[in-house]
Amino acid sequence: MSSELIKTYLADDHDLVRAGLRDALQNLPEIQIIGETGNGKELALALETTSPDLLVMDVNMPDFDPVKMVITFKAAHPSMKILVVSAHDDEAYVVGLLNAGVDGYHLKDQPLSDFIAAVRRVVEGGRWISDPLVSQLLNQHAKASPNQLRLTPRQRQLLAFLSLGYNNQKMALVMELSVKTIENHLTALYRAINVESRIEASNFAIRNPELLIEHEREKNNNRVDSEVNHSLSILLVDDNPRYRTQLGKLISRNCPDYSLFEVEDSAEAEKIAALVFPKLAFIDVVLHDEDGIRCASRVKAISPNTRVILISAYPDREFRRSGMKAGATAFLDKKDIDAATVRQVVEDALADKK
């Protein structure tokens, strides 16, 4: 990037802070600021249409889940560098973001010269952590539980499923194991993390997001535990429980070899996409007050090989155009979906060797 301007996007919900970052960056001849925003929703939308080389962002913004969105951003823009500029110095928070994929973490109360050094270090491919955080992180690493460090990929996978609320039957289906085997694995997991119940294990997963992040990164690097056959997974996203159940039964009857995941909103859809990288996704265009087309775009960002089928009770030419632009491969009218249609969609997906 040395011979070209470094396209940079700013995200911070405090106007004065953002102005200060902008002024500092504009003094660097190699930096070109291509946009800025103050909330997570606008940032996600901007990154769907732009490809910055560098994202300088705060993590405490409206409509922003920092760890989840960093994983999403990195999946969509692997070469983009991310420098966090934050007032938060909580160890778990910092570690979680570093494990999620940020390239640097700079504290806002540090000198301007350090911020400039952080930008240049990150742009050159290095890592940056503000000096006050270094000793904290070293202490945190020294105090880390040996049990956490010894978790196997399968145990991290089970933790991820527990955090999503899966029961033993659903885990057995996804992992293609017997329920009894799942029970045995859970017993070993509980022993490894020193808990005694499903609820305690789920809480442990929530308190230790770096374990779930590591699980997702393993899958993103195609190093997923071999028990999960991602090519035999279908995601169904619809906020109408009655229709979702009907279509789910239709899919299950006509695709008995597939694992079906039914969810009602974008947040759950993104979690499932990151966990199983489904072969197919049926997504309703309207989800409560959400945009199903944006959901489709996010699912594709997380799992690029997923074949997305948009469905709607009110087919519209503009919906179709926007859906195709978001990465959908087909647009179906709900009233036209029958057994033959489902079988044809599945056959097309299987024939689509990506």
> Is the predicted pLDDT of residue 75 greater than 70, yes or no?
yes
CA 281 from chain centre, in angstroms, equals 16
Domains of the chain and any CATH numbers: 6-142 (3.40.50.2300), 146-220 (1.10.10.10), 230-351 (3.40.50.2300)
Separation in Å, CA 10 to CA 53, 85, 217, 243? 12, 10, 25, 41
- Indicate the helix (H) or strand (E) that contains 281: strand 280-284
Mean pLDDT score, 30-52: 94
Mean pLDDT score, 247-263: 82
- The edge-to-edge listing of strands for the beta sheet with 6-11 is 31-37, 6-11, 54-57, 81-86, 104-107, 128-129
pLDDT above 70 coverage of the chain, percent:
84
217-223: Cβ within 8 A, 24+ apart: 217/99, 217/101, 218/153, 218/156, 219/274, 219/275, 219/277, 220/75, 223/153
Strand partners, 283: 237, 310
**Token pair for residue 184?**
């045995």
pLDDT at 211: 64
Mean pLDDT score, 313-328: 77
Mean pLDDT score, 64-89: 89
Mean pLDDT score, 173-191: 84
Per-residue pLDDT band for 202 (boundaries 50, 70, 90) equals confident
Integer Cα distance of 268 and 67 in angstroms: 15
Q: Among the listed ranges 208-217, 223-232, 269-278, 345-354, which one has the minimum average pLDDT value? A: 223-232
SS3 for 50-86 is: CCCCEEEECCCCCCCCHHHHHHHHHHHCCCCEEEEEE
pLDDT tens digits for range 53-70: 999 999 889 888 888 889
pLDDT tens digits for range 98-128: 878 899 999 988 888 899 999 999 998 888 8
Mean pLDDT score, 12-39: 93
Angle of CA points 141, 125, 119, to nearest 5°: 90
In the three-class reduction of DSSP (H, G, I as helix; E, B as strand; rest coil), residue 85 is classed as strand
pLDDT at 145: 47
pLDDT at 244: 87
pLDDT at 146: 38
**What are phi and psi for residue 264, nearest 5 degrees?**
-115, -5
Highest-scoring range by mean pLDDT, 13-22, 155-164, 329-338? 13-22
pLDDT tens digits for range 273-306: 877 788 889 999 888 767 788 888 888 888 888 8
Mean pLDDT score, 152-157: 80
- Is residue 305 within 8 Å of residue 354, measured between CB atoms? yes
3: Cβ contacts below 8 Å, ≥ 6 apart: none
Q: Among the listed ranges 67-71, 304-308, 329-333, 344-348, which one has the minimum average pLDDT value? A: 344-348
- Is residue 216 within 8 Å of residue 69, measured between CB atoms? no
For the chain, give the mean pLDDT. 80
> Is the predicted pLDDT of residue 225 greater than 50, yes or no?
no
**What are phi and psi for residue 81, nearest 5 degrees?**
-85, 140
Mean pLDDT score, 240-267: 83
Mean pLDDT score, 221-233: 46
**What are phi and psi for residue 21, nearest 5 degrees?**
-65, -40
pLDDT at 23: 92
> Is the predicted pLDDT of residue 247 greater than 80, yes or no?
yes
pLDDT at 285: 87
pLDDT at 206: 62
pLDDT at 229: 43
CA 308 from chain centre, in angstroms, equals 17
Mean pLDDT score, 197-222: 63
